[in-house]
Structure 1
Amino acid sequence: MPQLSLTSAEQPYCQVDYDSRNRWVRATWRGFINPQHALQSIVSSLNTLSTPAVTLFLNDNSQVLNPWFDSLTWLRYAWDSTDTPPPTCVAHVMQPGGDANVGDLDTTWTRSAGTELQLFESVDEAEDWLRGCHQKE
């Protein structure tokens, strides 16, 4: 599956790709994220997100520089724009200091879709949890 990089002012701010070894889609957000640009990027990432075999998703905000950016809202709109069911497991890595804003996350779509969402402070912890999700399949 092709890798997708979305850029802002020549600096990458989101990279969406399929990790074939681990069998999950990963979105890695970097730098300052303008929420409007992030929402506009949905159309560009639909092919990656609508891969039929995708049941696991790693959403990495560990490199986001904004005071607050809820990329779960982006994911909800992205999956609502496809005919593919949302993933069964989503590992969401918070941006540094983001744990103070956990209550601000829009998690209603994950509950209503039957998606299990876990929040993490490190990418390593998120990857370990997703590997465990493979065992549930």
Structure 2
Amino acid sequence: MRRECKNSFNKTFYVVEHSQELDIVDTLWYGYASPTDLRQAMEAGLEVLEQTNCAYKLNDNTQFTGPWKEAVKWLEKEWLPRAMKAGLCCLAHVANADSLAEESGKAMEISLIGRKLIYRMFHSRTEALAWLKTCQVEKVCVEQ
């Protein structure tokens, strides 16, 4: 299952896909997105989580330039309950060091998201995938 979202400039800024092989929901963010674009993408991502009931999610922001720290409140109130109900347990956030995406990731870490989910930030997609694999092998989501 794969979904793409285009921003107000008609450019793809978000791709979400359930990888059956890795058993993760993989999200890739590109370029810039307005607050409306962000909500559209997060809704698309929720639909994939709800349809797959996948416990593991990779949120890759390494190619994203727009800020979304302000979206954390909406994420806490609307996204988090639905994501958890769909089975999400482990969330890996990947961002470049000293970027707006890293600042957003730090905001998520101290929010309800970081307290309710098993959440870690990374600067490397490879490290994030390795961590998610460890979570799967150790069955951390089964024990919750």
Q: Cα offset for 1:34?
A: 1.6
Q: Supply the AA of the counterpart residue of 1:69.
A: W
Q: Cα offset for 1:37?
A: 1.4
Partner of 1:125 in structure 2? 127
Q: Specify every segment of 5 or more residues in structure 1 that has no aligned partner in the other structure, as ranges.
A: none
Partner of 2:63 in structure 1? 63
Of 100, 110, 113, which aligns to 2:113?
110
RMSD (CA atoms): 2.8
Q: Supply the AA of the counterpart residue of 2:15.
A: Q
Q: Cα offset for 1:26?
A: 1.1
Aligned equivalents of 1:21 and 1:6: distance in 2? 23
Which segment is superposed worse, 47-56 or 70-79? 70-79
Q: Supply the AA of the counterpart residue of 1:62.
A: T
Which segment is superposed worse, 27-36 or 77-86? 77-86
Q: Identity over the aligned pairs, expressed in percent?
A: 20
Decide which structure has greater helix share.
Answer: 2
TM normalised by structure 2 equals 0.76
Verify: 1:54 aligned to 2:54, yes or no.
yes
Q: Specify every segment of 5 or more residues in structure 2 that has no aligned partner in the other structure, as ranges.
A: 140-144
TM normalised by structure 1 equals 0.79
Q: Supply the AA of the counterpart residue of 1:3.
A: R
Q: Supply the AA of the counterpart residue of 2:4.
A: S
How many residue pairs end up in the alignment?
Answer: 134
